[in-house]
Amino acid sequence: MKNYTVVTEFILLGIPQTAGLETVLLVLFLFLYLCTLSGNVLILMAIISSSHLHTPMYFFLGNLSIFDMSFSSVTSPKMLFYLSGQTPTISFQGCAAQLFFYHFLGSTECFLYTVMAYDRFVAICYPLRYTVIMNHHVCSILATSTWMCGCVHATILTSLTFQLPYCDPNQVGYYFCDIPAVLPLACADTSLAQRVSFTNVGILSLLCLSLILISYTRIGISILRIPSTEGRRRAFSTCSAHLTAILCAYGPVIIIYLQPTPSPLLGSVVQILNNLVTPMLNPLIYSLRNRDVKFALNKVLNKMRLTVENE
């Protein structure tokens, strides 16, 4: 080890095969990032300002908006920074923090989707007991649990990755610090970290997805038993937005972490979809499919318009 230089910073090489497109990508990603922030802020304002949205379903939707904004903010600012021509370096501690918060927020969001599926399961399968089962105390415990479980998951992955010694070279062939991009730079045996990270991410994703599928199987059976067509339509409409969001969230995760031979370009494109596009689409998915949210958003936008006009 004395013959190596210990790494104190990493160089992010950016998105593969995009040399010369920095300005175009900067404008595009900045637009997506601003749309993500503004859309989720509007959803939060609508939920907070409308008393009829103070229910478990919208409580978890508000949590999802917070996670979407935070998740995009883990990687986007640094990416926009170096696309604008600034230095592509990131400190060793900054790289570790980026990896931690990426997996912390990603896994927390995974748990949150599972909790939201359980909420829909109780609402449709046990409608008369819904307010008793999903009371404020239970909702608070479930929300807090998603944060805690995500923190534990990310702590394990980050500790295993950055307890290894890192020497030259220090070039990360990616646009942010993630386990598949950072581990090859370690100058020690990485087999344990690779096995644990793959197992952790894989088991977590499969477990949450299995619980979601079980919930929606029960929901589907209950919907088919509803006698009226209008009742079935209303029940399905309350779940369709959540199902669409789940497909957008789990698709990139499956593609990224279950590839037998990962492609750097494909991985970058999928990660951008996961980090920027999906968080931007969630407000649209939930607002376009929900009359209550649309009504609350209109009230918020009208108040903002009146405030601007009065000034």
> What domains can be seen in the chain, in order of their start residue?
9-310 (1.20.1070.10)
In whole angstroms, what is the distance from residue 52 CA to residue 64 CA? 18
Least confident of 39-43, 194-198, 249-253: 249-253
> What ranges in 163-290 are assigned the alpha helix state H?
179-182, 191-224, 229-257, 264-272, 278-288
Q: Cα separation of 255 and 36, whole Å? A: 23
**pLDDT score of 43:** 87
Reduced to 3 states (helix: H, G, I; strand: E, B; else coil), residue 208 is: helix
pLDDT at 101 over 90: yes
Q: What is the pTM of this model?
A: 0.84
Average pLDDT (29-53) is: 87
